[in-house]
Structure 1
C-alpha cells in the first residue's frame, strides 16, 4: 500500500499546517481555552474561508466531497495544535450525516449554511448511565399529530452548547437496550423545551448536558428511517471516531517532537540527557508507538472508503483500541522524560496528555473497543 500523499493532499496538509502554526501557538491556545466560549469565532470564519468546513459536504451541494483520507490529513494537523473549534462536530459528523440522511427539502440549505460556517451541529447520543453503548437509549420520541414529541437527557455532548442543530437519538419503539426502534432526529437547539448546559472538559474542549422536555419536531426532522436509525448512528459515530484517531496521531506526533527537543536541550552531568542510552531507548519506543497508531488510522481510512460497513466498523474499533494504548504510552513517557514540569499547565506537554486522555474516553475507551472488535470476529 502506498502511504505517500498525492500532490493535492500534500497541499491540503500544508495549508492546514500553516493555519495551526500561525494561530495555535501554545500561549495563544491557553488564552483561548480560558475564554467563556473556549474557541474563536474568527478562527471558525477562517476555516470556512479555507473551504475546510465544506470538506465532507457532497459535491452536488457545493462541497468538496472528500474521502476519509482528506479528513485524516486535516484532523491530524488540527491535533498537532490542539485546535478548539467545533470542526469534528460540524464539518465531519454534521456534514456526513446530513449528506446521507438529511431531509431532501432541507438538505441543500443546511449543507450550504454548514459550509459557510453559519450552521454548527452536535451529535447528542450518549445518555447518563449508558457508558459507551450507543444502543442504550431511553430518550423517547412519541408520535404526535404530524410529528413527534421528544423527552429525555443526553450527556457529554461535544460542542453541544455552540450547536445550532442537534442530532438526537431517540427511541420510537422497543426496549431501552434494543438496537431496533432507534430513530435519529434533527432538533433546533433553541426549540422550546431544549435545555443546554455547557461546561469545559478536562482538555479545554466544550461539552454539554442536554435535556429534552416535550420538544415538538415535525416529521421532516427524521434522519433516515423511523425505527432503523441505529445503523446510521453507528456509521456516523464510526466517522467521528476515525477523525478522533487521526487527531490523536497528530497530538502524539507533536508530543513526541516536544519530548525529543527536551532530550536534546536538557543537560545533566554536563551532557544532554538524550545522550543516555536508556532514554534513547524510550525515545525509540515513543516513535514506534506513534507509527503503529498512524498505520492503524491509514488502515481505517482505507476501509471507510469502501462500502462494507461491517469491515469498516471493525477497522475503526481496532484503530480506536490502538490509539488508546499508544496515546497512553506516549503520554506517560513524555511526562516521565520531562520530569515534574510535564505535569504542569504551564508546559504544553500536559495539555497534549489531557487531550489524548479525553480522546480515549470519547465514544468508547480502549477496553470497550477491544470488546466490540472481539464480538465481530
Structure 2
C-alpha cells in the first residue's frame, strides 16, 4: 500500500515551504523569542490566506472539509521552520474534538473563527506537581443550575498568552474510578483570567499558568456529557499525536539537511568532513531514521483518518519512534557541527530544544509505551 502524499498535497506543501522560506524560516522563531509577536502574527495571517487554518474544518463552517492526511504537508513545514504558535493545538486537537463531540452552537461559534484565523486554542491539563495521569486532575468544576463554577490552577499551558480559548480538563465528580468524573470545558480567555508566564527549554514555545477562583462559565461550554471528558480527550490525543509525528518529521528533515550541507563545506585535514566514514555513517543513520519516521507518520495519519482498528498502536508507535529519532538527529547534528553547533548563531540549538520539548509533550514516553502495548494486547 502507498501511504505517500498525493500530488495535490505535495504541491500545497511546496507552497507553504516557499512562503516560509521567503519569510526567513527559523528567523520567525528567533523574532518570536525576542518578543516580536507582531511579526509572527503577520506570518500566520499569510498562512491563513493560503488556507492552512481551514483544511480539516467542515465546509459548512467555512473550511475545506479535508482530513488528517491533508494537514501533513503543512505540519511538516511547520516542523522544518521550527514555527511557534498554536496551529498544532488548534487544528489537530481542538478542531477534531469540536467536529466529533461539539454541539451545533459550539461548532458555529468556534470553527468558522478558526478557519478565518481569528481563534486559537491551547490545552490546560497539567496542574502544579501533577502529571498527565487522570488521578492528578484536581481542578473542580461544580454545576450550579445553568452555570459551572471552576476553582483550581493549571500550569505549563502551551502558549497560554497567544490562546483565545482553552480546552480545560476538570473534575466534576470525585465518585467512581480515576477516569470517571473528568469533564472537558471550553474556556474563553477573559480579563478575569490572569496568566503567569513560565520558563521553557524551548523559548519559541512559551508556557503559562492560570489560577481560576470562582470563575463561572455557562453549562453550554461543556463538551460532550458530564463526566465523560477523559474518553473525549483520548480521542483528541490520537489526532494531535498523529499530527505531532508529522511536525517532528519536518524537524528531522531540516536537521538532516543542515548536517549534510555542513559536512560538505567544513574542511578538516584538507578535505570536507563529509568524506570521513564516521560522518557518512552518522548522516546515513539520520536519513534512515527520517524515512522510517515519515512512513510511520503517514500511516498514523492514514489510520486516524480511516479509523482503522490498529490506529491506537499505529499512532502510539509513530509517536514513540519519531520523538526518539528527532532527539537523536538533533543531537547528532550538533556533534557534526562541532563547537559551532553549541552557539546560538547556528540553528542547531533550536531543534535540540524543540525535540526535548516534544519528547514528553502531552504524556511521557512510558505512557505511550503502555498505550502501544495495551493496544497490541500485550
Query: TM-score, normalized by length of structure 1?
Result: 0.94
1:65-76 aligned at under 5 Å gives the runs 65-76=65-76
Residues 1:262 and 1:116: Cα distance change in structure 2 (over 3 Å): same
1:1-377 aligned at under 5 Å gives the runs 1-35=1-35, 37=37, 40-134=40-134, 136-174=136-174, 178-190=178-190, 192=192, 194-199=193-198, 201-203=200-202, 204-308=204-308, 311-376=310-375, 377=377
Query: Any idea what the Cα deviations from partners look like across 1:113-157, whole Å, max 9, x if unmatched?
Result: 111112221111222233232563111111112121011121211
Query: Any idea what the Cα deviations from partners look like across 1:140-197, whole Å, max 9, x if unmatched?
Result: 11111212101112121112211121110111113597111111111121163x3222
Residues 1:215 and 1:182: Cα distance change in structure 2 (over 3 Å): same
d(CA) in 1 for partners of 2:93, 2:19: 22
Query: Any idea what the Cα deviations from partners look like across 1:250-306, whole Å, max 9, x if unmatched?
Result: 011100100001111111111111111121111111111111211211121121113
Secondary structure of 2:133's aligned partner: coil
Displacement, 1:28?
4.8
Aligned-CA RMSD value: 2.0
Q: Is the 8 A contact 2:252 2:329 kept in 1?
A: yes
d(CA) in 2 for partners of 1:91, 1:39: 21
d(CA) in 1 for partners of 2:199, 2:82: 15
d(CA) in 1 for partners of 2:164, 2:28: 27
Query: TM-score, normalized by length of structure 2?
Result: 0.93
d(CA) in 1 for partners of 2:329, 2:176: 38
Range that drifts further, 245-254 or 114-123:
114-123
Range that drifts further, 366-375 or 329-338:
366-375
d(CA) in 2 for partners of 1:122, 1:296: 26
Residues 1:373 and 1:175: Cα distance change in structure 2 (over 3 Å): farther
Range that drifts further, 176-185 or 15-24:
176-185
d(CA) in 2 for partners of 1:371, 1:50: 39
Displacement, 1:104?
1.4
Q: Is the 8 A contact 2:72 2:243 kept in 1?
A: yes
d(CA) in 1 for partners of 2:28, 2:102: 37
Q: Is the 8 A contact 1:323 1:360 kept in 2?
A: no
- Name structure 2 gaps, 5 residues minimum: none
Secondary structure of 1:161's aligned partner: coil
Q: Is the 8 A contact 1:33 1:39 kept in 2?
A: no
